[in-house]
Structure 1
């Protein structure tokens, strides 16, 4: 029988995936064509002052219980003299969820006004574990250079240098690009791969389009949504669905809801409030 400590550790690891999965949800306003080397794109959807809040729920003992909150904001800023956007995603578990795992995570990303990735940071406090992942981008001779690092609570640090002639993104900078692409000609089963910097390596993530669906949020608002699945491959190349997610079928391409499976059960993140978005919420079903 699994000891209580081992159960708690599995819960901590599962809780640590929540913010990552939510961040990935936030990038799902994409077209289903491969990303090319053109890292600049005209901003269409992002706007200074946008703010989205979410409720986080877990399925424990046959009932859904609220486990925490998350907030995503976008603000104008300047980075090393370059006019930019700063995106920030904060998530935390509540007191009842802290019994099983404690999560206090912050993701920060800066992109230029042309939506080129410039900087990414993830500070993750999960149980007794605290790590800081960073990615710093530069562009020289049509090459993307990414300097990544992970720093542990005890001061240990791991660095990773990566160069590519293809664009590289992190969990939030891909959102900036994706939200400004108008999806057309979707076909069920269409896929794309995203190269993403994690602080320790570059990962490829598979996204699959799965049609449309109407989704009702906790405030009883129904949105017409585009449905995608996030898929990973294990060491044997076997595919596994991690998450099903729903984004608004309008020009805002806002994440409305996600559902996913963790080691300790099912979970979902549901939209609570939106303010400061650029366009009317035309995906609301009357």
Structure 2
């Protein structure tokens, strides 16, 4: 579920039109102790059902003697739907303070009968990644190792990196590239900046947002095309407020429902 949620934010592509953004942004959009939660809704025929929840959190840690952030992500299906399809996803990522340079990543997924356990260790001194990749479709765990450019992220650390970008330098229609390690290889991704928009949440409150779309590549979840949209709070927090996408069977939406420990003031709706 978390991989699906994150894939809604960062979609797959083989090229990008613009130069890679600054790889070492100042960490200014969040602090240790932040926790944000989303409700995930699925379009089942004519109905929208509360399918699951996703939680992200940030903690301080020290990894290989480096002061770092520990990013955590957890997703699960709602208990009332576990009898239909049980989802338990856990993501962990560690990035250095200041630059967010990734040092470690682990994904444990249990979605029905499908299981995943992938880990990556980053060696920034040598621009090298060592990984351990397994899923229930293969018999044995695969060891991988490959070099990377200094601009490379995993699914979880990329979200926090993106929150620290300076979007004032982009115009509507610009593509912003992200190189990310997924399933044992580097993938070349981008999101398309669509400008700013006033967006209404289910509470009927309206918010000023930064809007993106993403080019989705045909796969097990998506049919391909720019069928995904993300709305991010247009404030110093830069937190995704709403995500929606067309999938192979219906649509999926995620809404921000709770925040704790934000670095800045709570996200404020527009006055009526």
Taking structure 2 as the reference length, what is the TM-score of the superposition? 0.86
Question: Residues 123-202 of structure 1 correspond to what in structure 2 (within 5 A)?
Answer: 123-140=108-125, 143-152=126-135, 156-202=140-186
Give the CA deviation at 1:133: 1.2
8 Å Cα contact 2:192-2:212 kept in structure 1: yes
Report the Cα distance in structure 2 between the residues aligned to 1:152 and 1:181, rounded to whole angstroms: 33
1:241/1:100 Cα in 2 relative to 1: closer, same or farther (>3 Å)? farther
SS at match of 2:195: strand
1:256/1:94 Cα in 2 relative to 1: closer, same or farther (>3 Å)? same
Structure 2 match to 1:210: 194
SS at match of 1:110: strand
1:242/1:78 Cα in 2 relative to 1: closer, same or farther (>3 Å)? farther
Report the Cα distance in structure 2 between the residues aligned to 1:233 and 1:56, rounded to whole angstroms: 22
- 1:144-165 residue CA offsets vs partner (Å, 9 max, x unmatched): 2111221235872112211133
8 Å Cα contact 1:225-1:247 kept in structure 2: yes
Give the alignment's Cα RMSD to 1 decimal. 2.5
1:265/1:165 Cα in 2 relative to 1: closer, same or farther (>3 Å)? closer
SS at match of 2:251: strand
Flag structure 2 segments of 5+ consecutive residues without an equivalent. Answer: 12-16
Report the Cα distance in structure 1 between the residues aligned to 2:134 and 2:238, rounded to whole angstroms: 34
8 Å Cα contact 1:25-1:255 kept in structure 2: no
1:68 aligns with 2:52: yes
Give the CA deviation at 1:25: 5.5
Give the CA deviation at 1:283: 5.2
- 1:235-277 residue CA offsets vs partner (Å, 9 max, x unmatched): 9xx9612411110001110010001112221110011111211
8 Å Cα contact 2:207-2:269 kept in structure 1: yes
Taking structure 1 as the reference length, what is the TM-score of the superposition? 0.82
- 1:51-100 residue CA offsets vs partner (Å, 9 max, x unmatched): 11111111112011111111111111111221111111101012343344
Report the Cα distance in structure 1 between the residues aligned to 2:37 and 2:248, rounded to whole angstroms: 25
Matched residues, number = 261
Report the Cα distance in structure 2 between the residues aligned to 1:50 and 1:167, rounded to whole angstroms: 25
